[in-house]
Structure 1
């Protein structure tokens, strides 16, 4: 990982050459997926954030990532499909650029790395948010009530009449998840829409502190 991050500075030409080959390969694979499978969209995973911030600067992102992302997103749209991106960690620095190049859906807005309400206020009218339910703390360590409150909080933070909000898990499942917590998540997610104006503000503050 250290080599991968320093190569942007030490071997920029080689990085561009590698990303050029990869991008061409991905776009050809996308064409075949559309032609042979009739897919509706592409959902890819490319973690570019840590728990505290992005892995690299905005300048590095704009030189080495943004141009190739744009080509791939443009290809998806050319094929009449959507392009969804999963990226864990704090990637707020990159969101305006990802939106500008046409990203359709972002996942998961990882809890405790970014402020969900702030992200929603800034970007929810510009991009569809596939909100990821917290899998690091709430599912393995929280109570059923914690799970239900978290679902309500996510609905409060992101949901609005015009849509562009979906709810899912923040990442893949692990063995420390509790079955009864998953059951609580399932039933809470099926509840009808919550009127944000009538919700108890203290309950929302509960989650912003990161407490369990």
Structure 2
């Protein structure tokens, strides 16, 4: 038994029906680069999209796209804040809230805007960064207790006192293949010191920042171990979140990434695999310069492979064959047009990359309110109709 025994003791009470087991088989088969019964489909949905989707399709207030469409996998997010503490409210009125989080980040969330704004950072010098001592990655509060945390609480919505992560996992386990998740080092630094300081300090102090990155990497490797243990066998997969690129290129040199960031991604992926979990890496932007590295690490699928960053699933399949698992890449900007013929060509074109397996259908990032409920409904029906093996369209 692991250090957290309670969930493991309850696992036998969380029965899965034949449909859920079929979804799990579908995911594992696809990520083994074999052809399941049909192409798996899921996505990441903004709260603003879900509200529009309910309104557009005249659905009840509690309707959920994961359940409504019986999607094939879902990801969960524990408390990954370096410091376990409640939000410090600096300002709040009917239009916005400004808080300091467990990353020491000061965030402004305007309720009318889709995403929050980073205003300032508690850690504003490299000396302060080097002196930080993060809270225990094995602290039970991260996994078993409700509380504020930045990643779950401050995004396209604003939520205080997020529910206990383990309770979320247990609630989803009977119905979906459930993935845990962890951020990697650069994703932490973006929230901890901001992208400008991060890139500036890497350029000015590469060795000093390398030592910091290694400390952060060990912290999140330990968080991953603690999270997987806390789940007590209820996870089927693991997502590693980490943006290291923008539309045209990487934020720093591939060699620097390989020296300091890659080893920790590799360690997390290897640990998750040792526990029998599928591993999906989510990294935005044009990551083409290091795709071969992710393949060698053993990542089961890359996500989101943004079309807007000139990545194309069909071309990637031709280039890398079935060494690369693909999760995403359907152009959300085409979805936003609502043009059924354009959307049909986009969906069927990307489905052609699913020949031989190795493909999960999703958008090339996430589904926001620019996409209508009717459009997403149409996309799911297209994938379900034309994504059955053997593919023939």
TM (norm. structure 2) is: 0.46
In the alignment, does 2:327 pair up with 1:134? no
Structure with the largest fraction of helix = 1
CA contact (8 A) 2:348 2:386 kept: no
Judge conservation of contact 2:269–2:279 (CA < 8 Å) in 1.
yes
- Secondary structure of 2:261's counterpart equals helix
In the TM superposition, 1:63-82 aligns within 5 A as 63-82=259-278
Relative to structure 1, the CA distance from residue 196 to residue 32 in structure 2 (aligned partners, 3 Å threshold; closer, same or farther) is: closer
Question: Which residue of 135, 159, 169 maps to 2:363?
Answer: 169
Give the match for residue 209 of structure 2: 15
SS state at 2:335 partner = helix
- Structure 1, gaps ≥5 residues long: 200-212
User: Could you tell me how far apart the structure 1 residues matched to 2:368 and 2:243 are?
Assistant: 18
Matched-pair contact (CA < 8 Å) for 2:317–2:324: no
| Secondary structure of 1:106 counterpart | strand
Give the secondary structure class of the aligned counterpart of 2:307: coil
Aligned residues: 196
The answer for the alignment partner of 1:191 in structure 2 is 385
- Which of residues 337, 354, 357 in structure 2 aligns to 1:159? 354
CA distance in 2 between partners of 1:29 and 1:195 (Å): 38
TM-score, normalised by the number of residues in structure 1 = 0.82
Aligned to 1:122: 319
Deviation of 1:12 after TM superposition, in Å, equals 2.1
Over alpha carbons, which structure has the higher Rg?
Answer: 2
Residue 92 (structure 1) shift? 0.7
SS at match of 2:366: coil
Q: State the Cα distance separating 1:194 from its structure 2 match.
A: 8.0
**Higher RCO (C-alpha 8 Å, min separation 6):** 2
1:144 touches 1:180 (CA, 8 Å); kept in 2?
no
Cα gap change, 1:172/1:195 in structure 2, threshold over 3 Å: closer, same or farther?
closer
RMSD: 2.3
Per-residue deviation, residues 166-188 of structure 1 (Å, max 9, x unmatched): 10122233222212211211111
